Amino acid sequence: MKAFLLSFFVGFFTLLAAAQEPNPVQFSYTAKWQNDSAVAITIVAKPVAPYSFVLWQAGTIADTAIASSISWNLKPTQSLQSTAQVLAHTAAKSAAASDSNLIPATDSSSYIQSIIVTDTTTGSIEASINWIAKNGDNYPTGVSTIRVPLPAKPSTTSASETGGTDGSLSSIFLYCLLGGLLAVFTPCVFPLIPVTVSFFLKRSGSKAMGIRNALLYSASIILIYTIPTLLITLAFGSTALYSISTSATANFVFFAVFLVFAASFFGAFELSLPSSWANTADGKASKGGLVGIFFMAITLVIVSFSCTGPIVGTLLGQTSSEGITMAPVIGMLGFSIGLALPFSLFAFFPSLLQNLPKSGGWLNSVKVCFGFIELALALKFFSNIDLIYHWQLLNRDVFLSIWIVLFALMALYLLGKLKFSHDSDLPYISVPRLLFAITSFSFAVYLVPGLWGAPLKPLSGILPPATTQDFNLHTNQYAAPVAAAPNGAEAPKKLTDKLKLPFGLVGYFDLQEGLAASKKLNKPIMLDFTGHSCANCRKMEEEVWSHPRVLEKLRNNFVIVSLYVDERTEIATKQQYQGDDGVFVNTVGEWNLAYQIKKFGINSQPLYMFIDADEKILSTTKYGYNSNVDKFLAHLTAIENEYKKLHP
């Protein structure tokens, strides 16, 4: 019994001592967010003396292959982004002659891996490390499991740094507010203003009650337009409307719809929702109270659809293509406020009703002018299709020629030189009509220099790019002395028969070609994520790229790689693959878009990101559309300084 107890305690304490002996290799880790969706995990392996740590590279011991390795136990919401890297060592490495194929190290060894995380609520990332140590001829091995907690995300970059979405949303709001105010002056809405306001003021018990009811009526109009747009945006995701609006199919649908709207405004037929809808809403409106006021607003929306529908469609089509999540909602909020504002304004100041112009033929003239505008905007959507498919049917000069004719015809119509079947007689020209005719003629004349290449910067987001114009005097101002391949780098080859950079710049349209050029030239890469139907991309080029100082930096200090996310050219079979979402990627645009989302975690254009030849991200700032030239120049300078630190 004593012998048993003695052996038991000896064995127990031996095991305890062995258990307390530290592993020959100790691991530590850090985690840092690279952008909104990618986190960099750095694992440091430090050998405990007298051991050395056998690095991740494979080696042999007595002709037996060995290697330390790491495997990631990732959750469904986590995925590897790029190939892991072994970082440089700071201390001398030791290697015995007997195992010269191994690379043991007495100092710490670091390993870094980027991981895409789509759901941060999972809390941590887990990895299993198969390690090998060395102490003379002894090679102990083991497995260590680490769990890396996800750090809190840093505060997001300010809007001014990322391209000024606040400014874009405010301009969208004002643009759509103006559209709502214009919709008031249509024959479907304008005659209803005095009738509706008088109804509230006369049927209410007091003026205060009448004002309250008019305000509720206006608020109901705002809710009817805004809430459905908000629900659609939330239901289809943050980029669904944008993706739809920039597709070739959607642009063709918009083009056809706008032609129908234009024909309706010209008087070819009347667009209207089913009359049963209006009758039902009108019946509920007669009940009075808050519900009755709400259904009065619904009745207005339904009966005015033939005039407001085309305007709403125009505004939704334009705001959805901005690439900003809440742009359509903000747009409809602005439109509905503009449409509802007169009903509240005249309720507060009923005496102004006496100063309103009488309904008449001038309201129909407003509709016809809207028809010319709808026809002009329809060409914008057809231009997007033309650019995507490279038909070259609607190049910039052809587009401008048609617009010049349209706005000249609108001016002639306002002067009474054109007349449609449903127009009233025009015995004389009123002063406002003359002013609008002058404005339309002036705009047509303003467009004329564009036929020879004038930039027309205010319209840069609407017109086809200047690179589609056959004869362009303006381009000579920016042309490089030798518009050829950068010195020491291969000339761009892929897609150069279809795509061009503006202002005589030379760049690449394939990522691998750009990486090779960056390596040879030792210059940072500017990834220009763009699209044929991206209005803000063209505005950025015309307003910012064309500045001489910006142009000089782009030409001399960067390798430009323009990646079109809607380019339909098929990629090589070996590059085609099926994404994690089940979508088969087989075109240049699909590949570029998938790369943008995976690498930078964002789907919007324009997007300017900067990398080196090893695809290391030089700045996490997501730089989008921003017309501030100085800000873009400062960003380019910061990228150059960062690149010089990494590649002296």
Listed by start position, the domains of the chain span: 20-149, 169-356, 360-462, 478-646
The secondary structure of residue 544, as a DSSP letter, is: I
Tokens representing 145?
């499991």
Residue with tokens 């929306």: 301
HSE, CB side, 13 Å, CA atoms: give it for residue 80. Answer: 12
Within the chain, what is the greatest distance between any pair of CA atoms? 129
CA–CA gap between residue 382 and residue 532 (Å, rounded): 12
Cα–Cα–Cα angle for 82, 537, 540, nearest 5°?
Answer: 110
CB 328, CB 241: distance < 8 Å: yes
CB 285, CB 299: distance < 8 Å: yes
pLDDT of residue 51: 76
Task: Identify the helix (H) or strand (E) that includes residue 629.
Answer: helix 629-646
The helix, strand and coil proportions of the chain, stated in percent and rounded to the nearest 5, come to: 50, 15, 35
The secondary structure of residue 66, as a DSSP letter, is: E
Other beta carbons within 10 angstroms of residue 350's beta carbon come to 17
Per-residue burial over 326-345, b if 16 or more Cβ lie within 10 Å, else e, is: bbbbbbbbbbbbbbbbbbbe
Tokens representing 417?
């030189």
CA–CA gap between residue 195 and residue 634 (Å, rounded): 57
Q: Residue 378 contacts by C-beta under 8 Å, 6 or more apart in sequence?
A: 254, 255, 258, 259, 262
The radius of gyration of the chain's CA atoms, rounded to the nearest angstrom, is: 33
Helices 275-285 and 289-303 meet at what angle, rounded to 10?
160
CB 546, CB 474: distance < 8 Å: no
What is this structure's pTM?
0.61
CA–CA gap between residue 374 and residue 381 (Å, rounded): 11
Residue with tokens 């759901």: 119
CA–CA gap between residue 451 and residue 463 (Å, rounded): 12
Task: Identify the helix (H) or strand (E) that includes residue 53.
Answer: strand 52-54
478-646 is classed CATH 3.40.50.1580: no
Distance of CA 212 to the CA centre of its chain: 41
CB 131, CB 144: distance < 8 Å: yes
Distance of CA 330 to the CA centre of its chain: 16
Profile the chain (648 residues) by mean pLDDT over runs of 10 residues.
Answer: 45 42 72 69 78 58 55 72 42 38 62 68 73 76 77 48 54 83 77 72 69 84 83 60 67 84 81 60 58 76 68 63 65 86 79 66 80 88 88 92 96 91 83 93 95 87 85 61 58 90 91 93 95 86 91 93 92 80 81 88 86 92 89 93 90
20-149: CATH topology: Immunoglobulin-like (2.60.40)
